[in-house]
Amino acid sequence: MAEQIVKTEYSEVMQKSYIDYSMSVITARALPDARDGLKPVQRRVLYAMDQLGLNYDKPHRKSARIVGDTMGKYHPHGDSSIYETLVVLSQDFKKGMALVDGHGNFGSIEGDGAAAMRYTEAKLKKFTQDVYLADLDKNVVDFVPNFDETEKEPAVLPVRVPNLLVNGADGIAVGMTTNIPTHNLGEVVDAVCAYMDNEEITTKELMQYCIGPDFPTGGIVINKSELEQIYEIGNGKIKLRGKVEFEPAAKRSERDKLVITEIPYTMIGANIGKFISDVVDLIETKKITDVVDISNASSKEGIRIVLELKKNADVEYLKNVLYKKTKLEDTFGVNMLAIVDGRPETLGLKQIIKHHIDFQYEIATRKYTTLLNKELDNKEIKEGLIKARDIIDLIIEILRGSKNLKMAKDCLVNGNTEGIQFKSQASKKQAAGLNFTERQAQAILEMRLYKLIGLEILALQKEYEECLEKIAKYERILGSKKEMAKVIKADL
C-alpha cells in the first residue's frame, strides 16, 4: 500500500491535540461531577468495592484486590493513583465523612504515608452503602461501557446528599483548579430542605442553615464577613486560625501551657512538623522568649501541640506572634469548580444545592417508575392466579388433556381448545372463553400444587392487596412534585 503523507500546519495539530488532552483531564480525571461530587476515579473505586460485595458487615479485603479490580475493569491508569484515592476516602481528617473503612496503616494527619496496598485492607462504610450506592439496581442512573466495552459502569452514583459540599474536593486540571471546603452534613441537609421549601431563597438565607465550612481538623474562620460573597460567586479566600487554649499549671512543679487543639485544614501533613520547627526557630532567634519547650502530644483522640511557658508569660503577645510568623494562621483558597452537563462551571452555594435537588428529582422519578412497573407486572400475575384459583379444576383438565405445553398455554391465552381432550362439552365451552395474558398463563403453568392450600390462597389475596397499596403510593409520588419532595426530605 502506497505511503500517504498528509501535509498540515504543525501548530494546528499541536493546538487541537492539546485542547483534546486538556478537556479529557478536565472532564474525565481532575474535576468532580456536580451531581455526585465525585471524580471518576473515586466513583470507580466505590463501585468496584460495591461489586466485590465489600459491605460494612462483611470482612475487610486486601486493598491490592480493590485496586486491581478498579484498574482492570474501570480505570486504566496507574495503580498508585487508585490506591491514593482509596487511602484518602478512608481518612477522616481529610474528608467530612470518610466513605471507606480502612484496616491497617492508612497514613496519619502528620503526613505519614499509608502502608503498601498488599498490607492494608478495606471495606465500605454503612453510610456509603446507604447514601452513595443504594438503588443502583433500580435504573436510577445511566450505565455506560467501560474503556474496553467488556463491562458497564455507572456514569454517576445516586448520591443522596450534596457530596460536593459534605466532602469537598480538590483537583488540578489543565488551566484550572478546584478547591471546595468540607461542610457539616447536618447543616448541609438543613440547607437543602430550606431550598426545597423555597427555591427563591437567597445565599444569605441559606447561610442561616449552612453557616460556613466545617473542616475535619477544626480551626476558626476569622473572615466570616467575607463568607457570603465567597458562597455567592464560588471563589475567594477563607482565613483560618488554629484553636489555642491556655492551661494554667495544676501543681507548683508544673508550668503554664499553651495548647493547640485544632489546626487550619491547610496544616495537614508535613506542615505540622514545619510548624513545630518554625516555633523552635522563633525561640532560637529570640523572637519569642516565653516558651521553654514544645512537644507534639497528638493521638487518635485529636490534635494536642503543647508549648510550655515561663512564669508570667505574655500569652496574648505569644498567640499573635504564632499567628503572624507560622502556619497557625493560613489561607484556604476556595474555587468551587465542578462539571455540569459535561462542562466545567464555577458554582455558588445555591447553584450546588440546585443541581443536587434536580438530580434527586431525576433519581426519585426513575426509582419510583421502576418500582411502579414492577408492581404493575406483579399485580397482573396475582390477578391471573386469583382468577385461576376459582377455575382450578378446569385448568387441571386443560393440562391433562393437552399434548404439550404450547397447546395448554395457547388455550389459556387465546381459548384455543383444538386438540385438547375434555371430559365434557361444558368444560370445552368454558375453556374456549379463557383470555389470560402471556404473563398470567406462564405464572399459572409454573404454579406449584401447595399454592392451593387454604392459607396460601389467603396469603395470595393479602399480597394482592399490598401490591395495590404500593401501586397507589408510587402513582401518588410520581404524580405530584410535592409528594416527591416529601419523600426526598424524608430520605435526607
Q: Which three cell numbers stand for residue 120?
A: 492494608
Q: Is 3 helix (H, G, I), strand (E, B) or coil?
A: coil
Q: Is 253 helix (H, G, I), strand (E, B) or coil?
A: coil
CA–CA gap between residue 184 and residue 230 (Å, rounded): 17
Q: Which three cell numbers stand for residue 366?
A: 426513575
Query: Mind giving me the DSSP string for 175-238?
Result: S-EEEE----HHHHHHHHHHHHH-TT--HHHHTTTS-S---TT--EES-GGGHHHHHHHSEEEE
H helix count then E strand count, the chain: 18, 16
Asked if 370 contacts 390 with a C-beta cutoff of 8 angstroms, the reply is no
Q: Which three cell numbers stand for residue 477?
A: 409520588
H or E stretch including 420? none
Task: Kindly report the three-state secondary structure assignment for every residue of 149-177.
Answer: CCCEEECCCCCCCCHHHHCCEEEECCCCE
What backbone phi and psi angles, to 5 degrees, belong to 473? -65, -45
Catalytic annotation on 361?
no
Q: Out of 18, 21, 56, 119, pick the active-site residue.
A: 119
H or E stretch including 104? none
Active site amino acids: 119
